[in-house]
Structure 1
């Protein structure tokens, strides 16, 4: 937690420099603080236009904050120590475990190296494809096109959602050479580092012809994340296609409608890019987007929300109760009670935080509608970055509240509770069991 606070503080200071803005004037402290917080937490909410307000140096600072926030300040520390000394120190190992809760102690070094490799390769590929497209079709100079491609590659893989145009990606709504590489990048980044590392290892074993991979099951976390992501992508796609067909998709060619529906069906769970105007979305689409944002992506990665694994565990518990089963099971595996309690704790704490923030913003901004405020708060908590366009119009204190929500959404409710509570104390006795009425 301290690492992220330090990173936000450094980013705020750098963005407050006069050379960080196009005008050469010093940015307001709140503007710099909000932008730094949004970048480090990989959210993408902005109060000023990234491309026109920040200078080239300012944009570079934002990109650096995104990269550091995405890979994780503790992960960067652990990786640097490992590269220098050949091993990870115990303190760095514990910090990395706290930041990426689904990693196993023995897998940290390998996972970090694989993740770094995938990050570099993915961002290089996306930079090359989109940069070439920006240069050929959008009349950008080679340097400008390369920078646009690189910035969007960093923003997409890290699920940040920052764009260099005032309309984000709306100008490229029908350009598959821009939309699809970015979508593929933030889907991979949103799966979570341990999942990506496991899939990478499985793929390498298949390529090398190793026989043992056929008998080795993917972990439950990986199976839940991959299958859950596929289901939620399909749900988001059909939701946008159905409810926006005669709305924001109206007037677009068939192929563009399908491309836009796919992109806007995927981006709410993780990335925060938009190729359509959310201010014009159907209320049902906004409600569905709220749910997708709240669920989020994979654990121990760049996505926010309560995470797919948490949502699936909660669903499994509910189905077990409905069917009268003693235990919740997923993929022929029994889910332990500690995991069930953690899932309910994450969901309850997250819902409480969102509710309190929504109430505060409604009081401070009575001119905003409830749908707008709910959408904005969930987007901040889930570190998505989608907005109906009200971020800059919020009061100063409301923006500070959103920064707090973004920060808590990034570090996670459970991480906060574990950091603040003494978990090593345990009772040596149990109270008698009681069964209060439920429902």
Structure 2
């Protein structure tokens, strides 16, 4: 679908500008300049059209404030279409140039600064985006990214707005700023601190046995906490939530499999969007927090183990590192899926809690179907490097989760056993 069809062609300029009758007459020429520049540049990929829009803005320095306001409205529209700051950060890293990121960051921070209270987890996402892009607004030195001439600056702004105006709608995984929300309880702060400390030690150690013990202890703590929470009467009325977790290239297929295995082990379900570089994980809040913590740690541990194994391979004269890494991470993810499925099948849930867990599982499945009425299975290409497969399987064994540390009775959804092949 063309961008003009998504937002109404030239009329989109009027849609972004909002009502102008209440503005002073001296502001109308500036608004007209911005309208003309956006109409010329946003709805085509033609470089000549971009240059025409940038020329209009370069000749009107007083239009910068109005131009920034239009950008903030585009950010607001992104929130209403399901986007969150972390989603824009992933987009920035993948599709934007370095000089666009400070512009995006300032627009996001300015738009979010209008609200007294932000939805849960937004503050953390904004901090991460701020670190990625730094501060400095449209017209400011930071936002200009070192570009001092107005034409280059205006071009960068219009290029960014081209991306923002074409953002597709995403599944809503949380409230939009400015709308009412109820913050669901995640992991208890002291429990969260203990789990993070254990996983940090597991990531830092060079001894596989120690990493295994630390990871198993962290999973055990999270599993016991999840069961305790599910047993509390005050949590019976909770409903499933969702959060998007980045699944970045390279080797994103293996990472998506690892996240799916981790989600299934914690009574959640994951749906991968390869185009956007993320998976949406659906479950109850404390389970979602456990999934994100464990997945992040297992990915760090797997990457560290892969780097060490690759170094040993190179020392032996090996040069084909890409196929080795691909096979390593695929084997690592698959083996962890097997172990997590075995662990979750053996978890000793109290008999009186089984109906509660079953009800929660049904609720999670229903919420997945609501968010994603049309999903399809992904065919995964088999590993092609026998050495990488073997090393990845060994690394997964080293990072394994203790058989008593699972948190549900459901095995890895959509899992499978892969073997080295050329398929």
The verdict on a shared fold, with TM-score over 0.5 as the criterion, is no
Report the TM range for the smaller structure's normalisation: under 0.3
Considering only CA atoms, is the larger Rg found in Structure 1 or Structure 2? 2
From the two aligned structures, give the one with the greater helix fraction.
1
TM-score after normalising by structure 1:
0.25
